[in-house]
Amino acid sequence: MKHFLAVSDLSSEEVQDLLDLAVRLKKEYFKKGNRPLFKGKVLGMIFQKPSLRTRVSFDMAMRHMGGDALYLSPNEIGLGKRESIADVARVMSGYVHALMARVFDHAHVLELARWSSIPVINGLSDYNHPCQAMADALTIQERFGRVKGLNVAYVGDANNVAVSLFHVSVKLGWNFTIANPEGYDMNPKAVEIGKKIAAETGSKVAFLRDPHEAVRGAHVIYTDTWTSMGQEEEAAKREAVFPPYQVNAQLVSEADKDVIVMHCLPAHRNHELTDEVADGPHSVIFPQAHNRLHAQKAILARLFGVA
């Protein structure tokens, strides 16, 4: 693994290996603290968009394991504006040991990886959010064990988070169903990639309009914001279209009785997810957020080649 840009770049075995390592590092962390496996290593973190979880969990992952992290805000770097992406990548490669980048345009993180001699991690783009998906898979596996055939249902906007959830689900042999409104379909390339993986692993996939049909028999219901970062000018239009896709107590009651409800956060409470559900017995949104830390330690460890 040279970079971590998309779940679909990994084999099913590599995905499972990362999860196993995350489980091990999480156990170790809570037992006696992690060993300083990242001693002397610095992660450069380039952000073109705001972040709570990604920024703090990567920073803490580095610190827990004896390394350090450097936050670079949109104002400082001006990726592709003040300086070309190729030049930023080559300069940073001489200063830090890995780069994490949160970008608007997915092509920009690919460009960083192309020119970096150090590992590049995708911390969210307009196309996908693979670090989130690893934490999501860890959370699902913790609840249900290492089993195939789980039913994962995503309800709402078929966005970057949905793409990575789709790909990690089918890599692990889980069935994936998505219900989204017309006009807000998943990136066709991501659909094609995911269907191909599903054909190899035996996962069933379904692309629906009806959220009620999507959650029938679901072990996982997942939702995310209706308006992602960079789409702010569409917010009013989206607020008018998406309400039938709200994850509320009624929708949850139509799923498997042991269903877990997930959200990558930040949540827009009482829009895509009601307070009642977010703070109710099926919700795992906070353990899910906490798992970013452990999943990312595993990603970093594999990229540094230290665990």
Among 8, 48, 132, 180, binds ligand CP (CB under 6 A): 132
Q: Which is nearer to ligand CP, 74 or 266 (CB)?
A: 266
Please tell me which residue in 59, 126, 136, 224 is annotated as part of the active site: 224
- Got the DSSP string for 264-304? -S---BTTTB-HHHHTSTTB-HHHHHHHHHHHHHHHHHHHH
**102 classed as catalytic:** yes
Q: In what order do the strands lie in the sheet with 68-72?
A: 68-72, 42-47, 98-102, 120-122
Binding marks (x or -) toward ligand CP, 233..272, rule CB under 6 A? Answer: -------------------------------xxx------
Please tell me which residue in 264, 271, 282, 294 is annotated as part of the active site: 264
Binding marks (x or -) toward ligand CP, 32..71, rule CB under 6 A? Answer: -------------------xxxx-----------------
**114 classed as catalytic:** no
Q: List C-alpha distances in Å: 246 to 218, 222, 262.
A: 16, 11, 13
174: CB partners within 8 A, 6+ apart = 140, 148, 149, 150, 151, 152, 203
Q: Quick one: which of 243, 293, 264 has its CA closest to 30?
A: 293
Q: Quick one: which of 229, 221, 191, 214 has its CA closest to 288?
A: 221
Residues that bind ligand NVA (CB under 6 A): 124, 159-161, 224-225, 228-229, 264
**131 classed as catalytic:** no
20: CB partners within 8 A, 6+ apart = none
- Coil, strand or helix: which one is 185? coil
Q: Is the separation of the CB atoms in 152 and 172 below 8 Å? A: no
Gap between the Cα atoms of 173 and 130, Å rounded: 17
Residue 85's binding partner among ligand NVA, ligand CP, none (Cβ under 5 to 8 angstroms by kind) is none
CB of 289 to ligand CP, least distance (A): 7
Residue 8's binding partner among ligand NVA, ligand CP, none (Cβ under 5 to 8 angstroms by kind) is none
Tell me if 124 contacts ligand CP by CB under 6 A. Answer: yes
Tell me if 101 contacts ligand CP by CB under 6 A. Answer: no
Q: Which is nearer to ligand NVA, 132 or 203 (CB)?
A: 132
Tell me if 294 contacts ligand CP by CB under 6 A. Answer: no
For residue 261, what are the β-bridge partners?
221, 283
Which residues of this protein are in contact with ligand CP, per CB under 6 A? 51-54, 124, 132, 264-266
User: What residues act catalytically?
Assistant: 102, 129, 132, 224, 264, 292
